[in-house]
């Protein structure tokens, strides 16, 4: 099996010799705790063996639904926030033609997003676009009451009801929600929407390989069978019993914790491929929500190189030395473009004439790696053979499993997010939500 690989050789001068080996026992114990279900948050481990448990029947149902929505729609709007949309968007943006939205020969509908913000201008502009388009909605919410997606779904549902009769609306809405309870489940059952279930034992940020991620990805025209196959192969490759030195999830969890203990409290996820921007956004939520608690945790940040070298490069090179980088490197791009020769050579680029653009990019990557390591920034490199469904499936499962292990090594519950609720209570109180009257008075005194 060809698979992603990890290179930690550029962290050696920042970690004491033998420290990775010394941490092996702790990492393996945390990995076993994950598989035994004896650690904190063990009621949210449904993602761990999810790739190998997904059936062909389940995948066929998702693909059939995607085909139906595609046949009815120029645009499919995915309504969700956090893990309810970031995983799908990460995969779709990574695989999409960068200029697909301008092409007239698309084979799949355009996938747009709503409910990931409370921007009034964004909402207006989306509705203004959709009023003259055929569109469907995939609404994703376990409760159906999360503010951002609930607002978005309410206004989109109203627009659909103005454009179609009851049967037409029903045909154009799919709800992904709780199996038996919650506002969205109640509405879906009453109106007869097709539904898929968000498993109780899979948290939102780990839900890419459930219908939460798989349905939007299939709607966008991508091969969810290959995505699941890649994740399944990574599940096998990182199963208990695999050699510590050959298990990338264990190595990544060990090294990032060792760097954290040495004072490297910020991890910057770096890519040299512009299509990976939203993969980094998904990764930021995965690690930020999983590890940022009890006043602990590596702060997850991300940059798109070489673009951000012209804005953040100076700080990374010479700013505070509390950072390390994890670089996702795509070995083989999909297309080939060569730098042409120019007879006048006014830009002095003829020295690279005939070279592929990717070769220039790779030399920028290697040159930056050396500069940053020399400048005091440790570097972990994750090599991905190609940017396709299969290797994205591997990468997703790799990050998920490494996150669970890493959180346990850190000493926190990687599967809860108690701090997320604080802002919500304040917002509800300020908006005058019934039941929050006491909180309203207390909060206003603080403003």
DSSP code, position 338: B
* 236, 334, 355, 424: the active-site residue: 424
For residues 430 and 440, give the distance between their C-alpha atoms in angstroms, rounded to a whole number: 6
289: annotated active-site residue: yes
50-224: CATH topology: Rossmann fold (3.40.50)
Q: What is the pLDDT of residues 371-415, one digit of tens each?
A: 999 999 999 999 999 999 999 999 999 999 999 999 999 999 999
SS3 161: helix
424 is catalytic: yes
pLDDT digits (tens, 9 = 90+) for 270-324: 999 999 999 999 999 999 999 999 999 999 999 999 999 999 999 999 999 999 9
Catalytic residue, from 107, 162, 295, 310: name it: 310
CATH class of 5-40+228-415: alpha beta
Burial 329-341 (b: 16+ CB within 10 A, else e): bbeeeeeeeebee
Kindly provide the b/e burial profile for residues 47-82, where b requires at least 16 CB atoms within 10 angstroms of the residue's own CB: bbebbeebeeeebeebbebbebbbebbebbbbbbbb
Distance in angstroms (rounded) separating the CA atoms of residues 273 and 266: 22
Among all chains, which residue has been given the structure tokens 């992603």? 4
**Neighbouring-strand partners of residue 196:** 176
pTM of the model as a whole: 0.95
- Active-site residue among 289, 325, 389, 400? 289
Distance CA 269, CA 93 (A): 17
CA torsion 304→306→307→308, rounded to 10°? 60
| Residue 162 falls in the annotated catalytic set | no
Domain ranges of the chain: 5-40+228-415, 50-224
Q: Answer yes or no: is pLDDT of 442 > 90.
A: no
* Matching fold, domains 5-40+228-415 and 50-224: yes
């Amino acid at each position: 099996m060809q698979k992603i690989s990890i290179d930690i050789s550029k962290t050696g001068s920042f970690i004491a010799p033998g420290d990775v080996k010394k941490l092996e026992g702790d990492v393996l114990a945390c990995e076993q705790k994950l598989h035994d279900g004896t650690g904190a948050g063990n009621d949210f481990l449904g993602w761990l063996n999810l790739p190998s448990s997904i059936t062909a029947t389940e995948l066929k149902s998702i693909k059939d639904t995607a085909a139906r929505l595609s046949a009815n729609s120029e645009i499919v709007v995915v309504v969700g926030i956090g893990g309810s949309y970031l995983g799908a968007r990460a995969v779709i943006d990574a695989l999409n033609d960068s200029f697909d939205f301008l092409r007239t020969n698309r084979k799949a509908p355009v996938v747009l997003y709503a409910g990931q913000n409370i921007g009034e201008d964004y909402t207006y502009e989306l509705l203004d676009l959709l009023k003259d388009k055929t569109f469907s909605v995939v609404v994703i919410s376990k409760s159906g009451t999360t503010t951002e997606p609930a607002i978005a779904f309410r206004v989109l549902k109203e627009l659909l009801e103005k454009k179609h009769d009851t049967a037409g609306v029903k045909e154009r809405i799919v709800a992904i929600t709780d199996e038996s309870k919650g506002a969205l489940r109640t509405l879906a059952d009453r109106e007869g929407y097709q539904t898929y279930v968000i498993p109780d034992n899979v948290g939102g940020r780990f839900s890419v390989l459930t219908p939460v991620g798989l349905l939007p990805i299939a709607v966008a025209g991508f091969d969810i069978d290959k995505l699941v196959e890649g994740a399944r192969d990574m599940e096998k490759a990182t199963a208990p019993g695999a050699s510590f030195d050959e298990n990338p999830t264990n190595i990544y969890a060990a090294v990032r914790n060792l760097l954290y203990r040495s004072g490297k409290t910020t991890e910057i996820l770096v890519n040299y491929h512009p299509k990976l921007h939203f993969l980094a956004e998904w990764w930021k939520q995965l690690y930020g929500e999983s590890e940022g608690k009890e006043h602990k945790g590596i702060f997850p940040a991300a940059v798109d190189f070489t673009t951000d070298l012209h804005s953040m490069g100076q700080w990374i090179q010479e700013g505070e030395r509390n950072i390390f980088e994890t670089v996702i490197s795509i070995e083989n791009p999909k297309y080939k473009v060569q730098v042409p020769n120019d007879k006048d050579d006014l830009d002095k680029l003829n020295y690279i004439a005939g070279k592929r653009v990717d070769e220039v990019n790779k030399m920028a990557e290697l040159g930056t790696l050396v500069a940053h390591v020399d400048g005091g920034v440790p570097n972990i490199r994750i090599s991905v053979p190609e940017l396709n469904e299969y290797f994205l499936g591997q990468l997703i499962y790799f990050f998920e499993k490494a996150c669970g292990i890493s959180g346990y090594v850190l000493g926190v519950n990687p599967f809860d997010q108690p701090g997320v609720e604080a802002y919500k209570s304040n917002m509800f109180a300020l908006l005058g939500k019934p039941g929050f009257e006491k909180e309203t008075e207390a909060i206003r005194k603080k403003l």
